[in-house]
Amino acid sequence: MDISNPRLARPLREFCQAVGIGITTAYEEIKAGRLIVAKIGAKTIVPDDRGREWLKSREVAAAAPSRNPNGKRGRRA
pTM, two decimal places: 0.69
- The length of the chain is 77
pLDDT tens per residue, range 58-76: 888 665 566 666 666 666 5
Domain boundaries defined on the chain: 9-57
b/e string for 18-28 if b means 16 or more Cβ within 10 A?
A: ebebeeeebee
pLDDT tens per residue, range 3-30: 566 789 999 999 999 999 999 999 999 9
